[in-house]
C-alpha cells in the first residue's frame, strides 16, 4: 500500500498535470497546449518559521491548481504515483478557470 507523505515546513506536495495529447474525440493536439507547467496540490506543510520561531502558513492549499517553475522541485515516488515537492515560495501562482 502506498504511504501518505506529510510535508515538513513550507514544502508543498504537487501532482503534475500531464496535459492530454489528444482530445476526447481522438484529435491530436498541437504541442503548444502542453506547455503550461502546472500541477495539483496534494498536501502542504505547516509553514516555515520566521525569525521569532513562529510558523508562517504556506500560500497554497490542498486542491489548488498551481503554476510551477520550469526547474526545481524534488521528485518523490509514493506507491505507483510520482509527485514533486516544492518550497512554497518557489510556486509561481495559482491557476483559475
Considering the complex, what minimum distance in angstroms separates the CB of residue 91 from a second copy? 6
Instruction: Kindly list the distances between the CA atom of residue 76 and the CA atoms of 8, 82, 86, in Å, as whole numbers in the listed order.
Output: 14, 6, 11
Burial letters for 8-23: b for 16+ Cβ neighbours within 10 Å, e otherwise? eebbbbbeeeeeeeee
Question: Which residue, 40 or 94, has its beta carbon nearer to a second copy?
Answer: 94
Per CB under 8 A, residues contacting a second copy are: 1, 3-9, 11, 13, 32, 35-36, 45-46, 49-54, 56, 59-60, 65, 67, 69-70, 74, 76-78, 85, 89, 91-97
Amino acid at each position: 500500500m502506498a504511504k501518505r507523505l506529510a510535508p515538513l515546513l513550507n514544502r508543498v506536495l504537487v501532482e503534475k498535470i500531464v496535459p492530454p495529447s489528444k482530445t476526447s474525440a481522438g484529435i491530436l493536439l498541437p504541442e503548444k497546449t502542453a506547455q503550461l507547467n502546472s500541477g495539483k496540490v496534494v498536501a502542504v506543510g505547516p509553514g516555515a518559521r520566521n525569525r521569532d520561531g513562529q510558523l508562517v502558513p504556506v500560500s497554497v492549499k490542498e486542491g489548488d491548481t498551481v503554476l510551477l517553475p520550469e526547474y526545481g522541485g524534488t521528485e518523490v515516488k509514493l506507491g505507483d504515483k510520482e509527485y514533486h515537492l516544492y518550497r512554497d515560495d518557489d510556486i509561481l501562482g495559482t491557476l483559475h478557470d
